[in-house]
Amino acid sequence: MKHSTSFKVGLLVTLVLVAALFAFQPQEKPVSIKVAEPLRYVRIYSDSNGQSHFAEEEAAFQLVDYAPPAPPISVTEVLGAEGVSFISSPSGWFGDWHPAPRRQFIFMLAGELEAEVSDGEVRIFKPGDIVLVEDTTGQGHISRVVSKERAYLAVVPLK
C-alpha cells in the first residue's frame, strides 16, 4: 500500500508530538531542593587614592517560597535598581581611562570585553560573566572589545 509524502510527514509529526507528551509528564517523585552555592561575580572599585582594582565577590542565596505554589527556589537579597539598558560596541572598540558613570551591574551577553584597572591587572569578561562596576571616582578603568564579534551587555544601574 503506497502512502503520499504528506501522509508520511503527518504521521511522523504525530509520532513526535505523542513522544514529546510522554517525555514531559510531571515528575511523580518530589525533588530534593537545596540552596544554591553563592553566585560569584567580579567587582571593580576605587580605593581611597582613586586607584581602581578587581575583587572577587559572592551573593549568598536563601531558599524562598518565591512563586507559590511552585517549590522554593534559591534567591539572593533584592538590590535597588533603577532599570536596565543594553550596550553594544563593535569589535576593536576602545575606551581609554574613565570612571564608571554610576554604580552598575554589567551582565555579558555576547562578545568579549577586556578591562584593565589602575594596578595593571587585566581581565577578559565573556558571555555569562557578571561585573559590579563601582569605580565612579578616580582614574577609573580601560575597556576594550577584544572579540571578533560585536559585544552586547545588559547594564543595571543601582540606586
- For the cut 80, the answer to whether the pLDDT of residue 54 exceeds it is yes
Mean pLDDT to the nearest integer, 138-157: 98
Residue located via cell numbers 578587581:
54
Instruction: Identify any residues that bridge with 38 across adjacent strands, giving them in sequence order.
Output: none
Distances in Å between the Cα of 154 and the Cα atoms of 15, 105, 106, 126, 157 are 41, 8, 6, 13, 10
The superfamily in CATH containing domain 39-157 is Jelly Rolls (2.60.120.10)
Is-cis flag, bond preceding 71, omega within 30? Answer: no
Q: Which residue has the higher pLDDT, 29 or 83?
A: 83
- Band the pLDDT of 4: cuts 50, 70, 90: low
Q: Which residue has the higher pLDDT, 90 or 13?
A: 90
User: Does the pTM exceed 0.85?
Assistant: no
Q: What is the pLDDT of residue 143?
A: 98
